[in-house]
Structure formats: C-alpha cells, structure tokens
A and B are shown apart, each in its own frame.
Chain A
Amino acid sequence: MLTLTILVPLIGALAILYVNEDRCRKVACVLGAIPLLLLIIAWIGFDTGAGAPVFQWVESYPWIPSLGVGWRMGVDGIALAIATMSALLFVAAIAWPAETQGRPRQYYAWFLFLEAVSLGVFLTLDLLLFYVFFDLSLVGLFFLIGRWGHGDAQRAALKFFVYTFAGSLAMLLAIIALVLTTDPVTFDMRELIARQPLAGMDVRGALVLLGFVIGLGIKTPFVPLHTWLPPAHVDAPGPASAILAGVLLKMGTYGLIRIPFSMMSATFARYAFALGIVAVVSILWGALVAMAQRDLKRRIAYTSVNHMGYSLLGIAAAGALVGGGEQAARQMALTGATVEMVAHGLITGSLFLICGVFWQRGREYDLQTYGGLAQVAPRLTGFAVLASFASLGLPGLAGFVAELQIFVGTFGVYPWLAAIGLVGILITAALFLQMLQQLFFGELPARWSDFSDLGRVETRMLTVLAVLVVVIGIYPVWLLTLINSTTAVLTGGP
C-alpha cells in the first residue's frame, strides 16, 4: 500500500502531461489526494499497542540485491505522522490557485513528482532509497523554483540545488561508510538499527556522524548551513515555498532521527551536546535575523530556521544518553520534536501560502508598503493571525504542544540549553506581532484599497490547515499516541 502511495503520484506526473490543460488542476488534486487517503487508512490500521512491531505496513522487493539494496517500505509512528502531514500539505499546495504561466501541465506534473519522492523519503526503509528520494526532491523543487519562481529565480534555484546537493553527497559518503561496516552489505534500515554497526569505532563513527549532520543539517537547515534558504524561499512561487518549508525541511530532522539517532546511538549520544548548542544557536540566530527582515517572506523563512532549531534541540536532548537514564524526559523531547515537525509543516505551510496571496495580489513582499489590510481582507487577516499565533507558540494551538514538550523534555537533560532556547520564543513572539501589526492594522495605503480577499479555494485550503492546527492544540492525544508508540522504543523506554 505504501508503494502505491508513491507510485500513484509518480505515474500521475507522467499521465498529467496528456490531460487537457483546463482540467489539469482537478486531475492533479485527485491524484495528489490519493496518497493522503492511503496514508489515513494506514494511520487507522496502525497498531499503537505495546509490543506492536515498530515498523508496520512493511513491503520489501529486491532492487539491486548484490549491493543489498531493495525497495523497502514501512512506517513507524514518526514517519507516518510526518508523511500524512506532508500529503495534506501537498493537496493544499496543488489545489492552491497558482499562476502556472501558461504551462499548467508541467507545473502540476512537477508537483506530483515532488509529492511522490517526498513521501518516498518518509516511507522508505532502505538507506539507499532514502538517498534516492532525497536527491530527487531537489530535482523537483529546482524546476519548480526555476521555472515558476519570480525575481532572480534561476539563481536561487541553482544555489538551492548546488548547496543541498553538496549536503546530500556528504550524506552519501556517510551512508557508504556506515553500510560498509556490515557484512554482507545491506542498506536495510531495520538491519542497521538492530546492528548498530559503528558501535565502538570512535574516529570512523565521528566522521560518519559529521557527514550525516552536514548533509541533513544543510537540508534542515541549521546555522551556519542555512544561507541557501532565504533566496530559495523568496523567489519560489507560494505553493512551492509552502512545500519547501513544510515538507522538504522535515527531511533533515526526520533523517537525523531515522539514521544517526537510531543507527549509531552511541556516537550520537557523545556529540549530542554539540548538536544541542548548534540547535540553540539556530533558534536565537533564526529569530534575531528574522526580526531584522523587512521582506515578509524572508522573515518567515528565517523563522523556519528558528523552528527547526527547536526540533533539533529536542532530538539532541533525546539522544543525549543511551539506555534508561532520564527516559521520560528524553521521550518527551523526541515526541515534542516530532510534533514540532508536524506543526511547523502545517503552520509555516499556511504562512507561505498566505505570502503567495500577497505576491499574487501585490507583487510586493516589503512589509513597510502594506498596512491596514484587515479592513479589506478580513478572512486573510484571520488566517494570518491564527497561523502567526500558532507559530509563536500560543497555548491551545499546535505550536505550543510541540514546544512545551521539547522544552520540558530538554530541561530534564540540558537545563541550560533549554533556558537559553526559551529566549528564542520571546523574540519570535515579538517579531510575529510586529509583522501582523504592520500588515493588517493601521492606515490602509491607497494603492491597496482594491486588495481582494481570499478566494473560495484558498479559504477552504487554509481552513483545513487551520482546523488541524487548532485540533492538535486542543486535543493532541490521537497524534501523541501514534508518535509515542515509536519514541518510547527509540529512547529505550518500556
């Protein structure tokens, strides 16, 4: 079934090239929604009880058996949660009324392709296949940014591709070095997790970890590897930006949990504190730089750096000790990190879609030129306010659930880091409030007097995302049960 989740959009991407241009979007929506349905079914069928296998819905077919590579699919709670969120975000991004610049077929084909490979990253259980999908997601986004972006889109796309490709190659080397320690060679993640092949190899372990951290860190991104992110975001079309922030960034943190955290936990634990410091630096740096931005999209892009920092902090705290010590706190941190990924996907996804609204209507991202939009666009204002509050961590919304667990969990392991990290939340709150005030309140400049409010489809899509953000904020049990079933195992709990 997971295979189908990837194949449907992949084949759909080819098929849509032969669909009538007028019906492209509808067909793409249907095709894009099928994976979401399948994943929801998988979620319902997922066994969260104690003693249930970690990986479920497993499928396995040989691909290059002599290299130990296979088409291996399967999910645990973390992967399922993130994949489902991604599929939802893809449906929203595809349905979003975009400017396809006269080439709707190619536009939707690339989106479906990107959906297939992004889900592939989260659903695969084969390390090489993980890399394959990881790389292909770059190709998909390269074309989306370069072709349908604005401003200096080609340059941004090139920078994005080259920068992140460098990261993924560093990861490839790490993967090879990791896998070569097994005999016979296998890329099966379950095998690798069970064997912990690098245990007891200090230097090699550290180098492999470095490769993974650089590779996944560029994608996440954390300071100082984040410089590709702002241009890519600013010049990308709104929906692609939402996917970039909502889905692609998660590959970094998800990969950290899936690979170094699980497969080389001893090495990871040794360097967890350093990662924690990097996380705190990212949190503060992202927040401070975001505050200094006048460009709406740039500002939100930097808050992504900040939010992924929280997630990284949770992961670092969770991996700090091997075995039973502080298990409850570490599990909480890891659960928080995962919820942060889901929440950030939904929230920042909507924020970037909202940015797309501004570009479509005003061709302008400069905050200073806007003002008083609440009068002409009440619905837009509502959604923007909700998303911003969720992003800054208002209780009752999804961001709060995540950040609370991360910080509570981290306090149990690295109290000082958690304390410093908290400052980031304050700054974020300030910068979002200031942004909202600038955009929606105050004097309405004359040039925006005919600024049109959200359309029907836009409203619907944002409503779905917003409802989820609220539901996770108020009643997160259904999500936490799923995630906890896996994090408990990963942190060595019962």
Chain B
Amino acid sequence: MEPAVQHTVVIWPLILFLVAALGLVTVMLGLSYVLGGRHDNRLGNQPYESGIKPTGSARTKFSAKFYLVAIIFVLFDLEIVFIFSWAISARDLGWVGYEAFLTFLFDLTLGFAYAWKIGALDWSPRAPRQLRLDAIESNQQRNLPSEQTS
C-alpha cells in the first residue's frame, strides 16, 4: 500500500468549509433576527395567544424503564447492520466468515442472556423479581460501608 501522503497539504478548502459553516449559521440566525416580526407583549408570549390557559406541566414522567428498553433496543438492533454487511459478502468470506459471525452472534446471545437474567427486560415494575431486587437494595443501603451511614 502506497502511503498516499501529500506533504503540501492544501488548507484552504478546510478554511472555506469552516467559513461557510459559520457563515450559514450566522446568516440564518441573523436574517431571522433582522427580518422576523416581534411580538414582545404579555399575551404574545403565552403558549396560546388566544384560547384556554394550559394547566400543569408539559413534561410528564416516564418510567425509567423506557430508557433502559430503548437502549437495549438500540444495542441489539445495531447487530442488523453487521448481519447485513456480512450477508452481502457471505459467499466471499466463506466458512471463516461464517465462524466469525457465529462467534459474534454467540457473544450477542450472552449479552441478551445477561440482560434477561438481571431483569432488564422485565416490563412490569411489580414483577416478583423486581420486588426481590428492591428488597436487597434497601437492605444494602442499610449495610453500606461506614462513610455513607455516618
């Protein structure tokens, strides 16, 4: 492989890119600032200029479980990317590729087993397992090493 190194690196495209990026942002913000209308009064700042005043907060609490599930989903969903790239070149890679891929899938399965075992997939917050875990956790908090109790 030829080390494709060009010692007289041309910097100006980089600078141009930088200027263009900054310029675009400036122009967009600046233009809307200059051209946009102002409604700087009390009514104008309300969520609904005319209508019923909203009550309560727009932010509702989600169970933390959602995030956990979402992350697990992302993790295991990404394997598709690898499976896909393997699939289109499966013939070229042959049995070595097949073995390597099986190893990969096996690793993923281990991860899945772990996630399942520790209860990350338990949807209901009142599952018996969770109750047990909660019990251990509260027990743990009572017995934490000294600096946290003192």
A and B touch in the complex (CB under 8 A): no
**Which residues of A approach B to under 8 Å, CB–CB?**
none
**Which residues of B approach A to under 8 Å, CB–CB?**
none
